[in-house]
Homo-oligomer: A and B are copies of this chain.
Amino acid sequence: MTVELICVGTELLLGNIVNTNAAFLAEQCAALGLSCYYQTVVGDNRERLLQTVHTALSRSDIILLSGGLGPTKDDLTKETVAEALGLKLLEDKASREKIASYFQTRGKIPTENNWKQALVPEGGRAVENRNGTAPGIIMERDGKCIVLMPGPPEELKPMFMEEIAPYLRKLGGEVISSVTVKIVGIGESSAETKVADLMEKQDNPTLAPYAKTGEVHFRVTARAGTETEAAALNAPLVEELKKRFGSFVYTTDDAVTLEKAVADILRKRGLTMTTAESCTGGMLAARMVNVAGVSEVLKAGFVTYANEAKSSLLGVREETLRLFGAVSSRTAEEMAQGAARAAGADVAVAITGIAGPDGGTAKKPVGLVYISCYVCGKADTQEYHFAGSRMKIREYATVSALTQLRRMLVS
């Protein structure tokens, strides 16, 4: 079955807020095995909403609408959807009582507007809203199903999980199951070239690449009658991807990030880690601290942006800085060794580079970065050239540092 999302709200059209409802509903619908082909955002405007609802009815089985159920004049989703379906609005007694008690509990008096929220299109069913005054509504007509939900995420999310998802689950027959194969150390194009034949013949399961900064994720998705059958359809393709990408694959677990994969290897081997960052200025340490409970592994980190800090905190020799410069292979290596010593850690990762926009020269252009990984007495130092904004160069440097360290640990 197909589902379509319509999010109603002028604040979305003006970009005042980010549409997190759409992402939430899309993810939930995918988990329910519903195919979502369109999401639309439209303002609180009768004509344009009417047109959007008619278009959706012509091409989708289920339509989920959010927003525009409030008590104000601007809120006209319910009235407009009823008009599109040719239905009258009738007062729902239970909803009216709930509104009355909601205001009574809070010691407030409802205005005339508020009673509007008790109206339900004929044949429709009001859905309780435990976190606000606007009830949701479920309608079925001509084989289509239309669901109205309030716009505030803290009202919509619990209503969807508690009331709407169980209702939708009964409508569809299929189950969908996904596995994500996460890869680092190889670019998106090269990765895709390696699996062009698999992409070509995809059907069930499907295979889709997602490029992240410095990573490629392949999502394998199957549909079947049961969860077990869907998982069984996915398994051979997941195995094939693992075989082709070998140690480039760092996980097939949705919850595992690259920093968590690195932290897990260190923890298993009983190694502690530290960081020494110049141009990234703490981004590598902050990524490690994304991992809850990382204190077992990451004891300390150093941000040594100025040359004097590289010397005084990490013991980088002044001669090294003078002869090779702060952005050099030698300085990176001394930063890593010095950080390991200063923090008493087994492993240290040092980053030094030119993030721009200024400070580049012909010999040392913006984007030049040296990363040194020091693991139990051995050092591996690499030179990188990144392009893009100051932020992008620093993000690439951070993910490359994690990738380089992981490679050294698993090889």
Chain A contact residues, CB within 8 Å of chain B: 10-20, 22-30, 36-43, 45, 48, 52, 55, 70-74, 102, 105-108, 110-114, 130-132, 152, 154, 158, 187-190, 192-193, 196, 199, 208-211, 213, 219, 275, 277, 279-286, 288-290, 292-295, 298-306, 308-309, 312-313, 342-344, 355-358, 367, 385, 387-392, 394-395
Contact = CB atoms under 8 A, between A and B. Distances in A.
A384 to B, nearest CB: 8
A304 B309 contact: no
A155 B318 CA distance: 39
A70 B210 CA distance: 11
Nearest to A221: B14
B210 A130 contact: no
A312 B10 CA distance: 50
Given A70-B188, A282-B285, A43 B37 contact: yes
A112 B295 CA distance: 45
A392 B129 CA distance: 13
Given A17-B23, A43-B37, A388-B154, A275 B300 contact: no
Given A279-B289, A285-B281, A105 B305 contact: no
23 contacts: A11-B210, A12-B22, A15-B23, A15-B26, A16-B27, A55-B55, A70-B211, A71-B192, A73-B196, A73-B199, A105-B387, A106-B387, A110-B189, A279-B289, A281-B286, A282-B301, A286-B303, A289-B303, A289-B305, A292-B355, A295-B306, A298-B306, A299-B309
A11 B111 CA distance: 43
B300 A306 contact: yes
Contacts of A357: 292
Nearest to A18: B23
A38 B199 CA distance: 33
A15 B27 contact: yes
Contacts of A22: 12, 15, 18-19, 41
Given A12-B39, A71-B189, A131-B392, 6 more contacts: A13-B36, A18-B19, A19-B19, A19-B22, A154-B388, A280-B289
